[in-house]
Amino acid sequence: MSHQSGTQLNQHYIDGEWTDGDGSDTFASESPATGETLAEFTRGTEADVDAALAAADEATEEWRELSYIDRAEYLWEIYHELRDRHQELGEVVSKECGKEISEGKADVTEAWHMVEWAAGNARHPHGDVVPSEVGDKDAYMRRKPRGVVGCITPWNFPVAIPFWHMAIALVEGNTVVWKPAEQTPWCGQIIAEMFDDAGIPDGVFNMVQGFGDAGAAITDDERVDTVLFTGSAEVGQEIASKVGGEPGKLAACEMGGKNGIIITEEADLDIAVHSAIMSSFKTTGQRCVSSERLIVHTDVYDEFKERYVEIAEDVAVGDPLEESTFMGPAIEPEHVEKIRKHNELAEQEGANVLVDRFELGEDEIPDGHEDGNWVGPFVYEIEYDTDLRCLKEECFGPHVALLEYEGDIEDAVEIHNDTPYGLAGAVISEDYRQINYFRDHAEIGLAYANLPCIGAEVHLPFGGVKKSGNGYPSAREAIEAVTERTAWTMNNSKDIQMAQGLSADITMQDD
């Protein structure tokens, strides 16, 4: 059982030990739904990160000597614990990050799916047998762990995303230094306890609780070989550009989106409304795959608008632990302010506001939750213009633009692609030609047809293009970011024969 919540100060996990670390500052995990303190944590310093990196560095040699299958055994322990504690951990997720309970539990399910994928993959081939141009040569692609992997994870999937990063990094033979999001340290604590319970060797897994300064100390350190980051575009870009300047170091960053759904004149409007509501308001719009733009054909615009607005006016905001809740609170007061600014920006840019539940009525806020970070849907229509900031900047909240278009799917996709981001999107249509046009031309990493643009499964690549990512999505592709490839060629003959017709003759001066 976890020694989390309550008055006790929770610690870092470094080199197989729980430790207060070097600093004296502490911070609290606060419930977004009530404002109450859930637990207290020590705040990591550069010295703590230094100790964690030293431990991770030291542990690499022994860890990489284990077989894939032996490394995966530690993850299987965690897999079972995640499953056994599904309800309990789902509730912790909902309490700490405010997602309603089905989402809290889905976060834990997504975590064990990723652990299952990574640990199961230990028994699958990890390289290629490659034909050589020369008959007597054997050629292979082999993989080696990169070494120390620094993981920086966001609050909105506080159990799933840490495992996207760490399950794969560890099974592939790397050691890890992880900083959980400062908003969800309790989830971080429980995950660290699971690694401790699983008996993972000292130094292989390390967790430092803290803020951006601790994260920067991880990403800046030369002992880190790969940085895995999921979070905001601002921080991701900073990490990617800094790390890009350091030879031999790699950053795999997954960032946000300004995701769009196209609803064509051939759409089934039941599917359209359902998909759009899910994509806009699940997780209170705080998924990197949430949709903030609905691009709707003029022929179906009025009917879609009426049906969508009716639900957005009424969708249940409330206590995340109640099953009847659709939207929980926003993560923190600063984020409520950010959402307010985005709503105001849309109004300044000429939005016609259709739903404004930013300030919820007293009767909409559950009893005893008056200090929560409550926000409701904000829906507006605006004439598409490429210069509008409200159509380009990610709000990360329940803030949605309706854009009416005329013409064909080509016109809709042009509007769809007119953002600096490229993470997720959907097309709603009964016409396969329109669907396939979207599939082939939408500039995104996660594309859906007749579905919401949220809810990707873990064994698919997850990542975006343009400002949304730099090309190492989770699951199979994340292996590229945490391993080195070796081209291994071996001669079976006593003669040396070269590829490309290169002469292997050594000629002497008097030949």
Residues that bind ligand UN1 in the complex, under the rule CB under 6 A: 110, 156-157, 287-289, 454-456
Least gap, CB of 258 to ligand UN1 (angstroms) = 13
> Running DSSP on this structure, what letter comes out for residue 340?
H
Instruction: Output the CA–CA distances (angstroms, integers) from residue 190 to 92, 185, 187, 285, in the order listed.
Output: 10, 9, 5, 26
Determine contact, residues 45/23, Cβ cutoff 8 Å. yes
The smaller minimum CB distance to ligand UN1, of residues 256 and 377, is found at 256
φ/ψ of 106, rounded to 5, equals: -65, -30
Report the alpha-carbon distance of residue 427 to residue 434 in Å, rounded: 8
The smaller minimum CB distance to ligand UN1, of residues 173 and 256, is found at 256
Q: Token digits for 153?
A: 């994870």
The smaller minimum CB distance to ligand UN1, of residues 351 and 454, is found at 454
* Selected catalytic residue, list 30, 96, 254, 381: 254
Pairing of strands 399-405, 378-381: parallel
The smaller minimum CB distance to ligand UN1, of residues 44 and 425, is found at 425
Least gap, CB of 464 to ligand UN1 (angstroms) = 11
Least gap, CB of 157 to ligand UN1 (angstroms) = 5
The smaller minimum CB distance to ligand UN1, of residues 214 and 288, is found at 288
* Selected catalytic residue, list 253, 288, 390, 453: 288
> Running DSSP on this structure, what letter comes out for residue 201?
P
Least gap, CB of 478 to ligand UN1 (angstroms) = 14
Least gap, CB of 195 to ligand UN1 (angstroms) = 22
Beta bridge partners of 427: 262, 449
Q: Is 367 helix (H, G, I), strand (E, B) or coil?
A: coil
Question: b/e map of 238-260 (b: 16 or more CB within 10 Å)?
Answer: bbbeebeeeeebbbbbbbbbbbb
Least gap, CB of 93 to ligand UN1 (angstroms) = 13
Q: Report the 10 Å Cβ neighbour count for 275.
A: 26
Least gap, CB of 319 to ligand UN1 (angstroms) = 22
The smaller minimum CB distance to ligand UN1, of residues 289 and 382, is found at 289
Report the alpha-carbon distance of residue 489 to residue 8 in Å, rounded: 57
430: annotated active-site residue? no
| Alpha helix ranges (H) inside 122-268 | 160-171, 185-197, 212-220, 233-244
Determine contact, residues 490/470, Cβ cutoff 8 Å. no
Determine contact, residues 197/77, Cβ cutoff 8 Å. yes
Determine contact, residues 320/366, Cβ cutoff 8 Å. no
The smaller minimum CB distance to ligand UN1, of residues 81 and 107, is found at 107
254: annotated active-site residue? yes
**H, E, C per residue of 483-502:** EEEEEEEEECCCCCCCHHHC
- List, by residue number, the catalytic residues: 254, 288
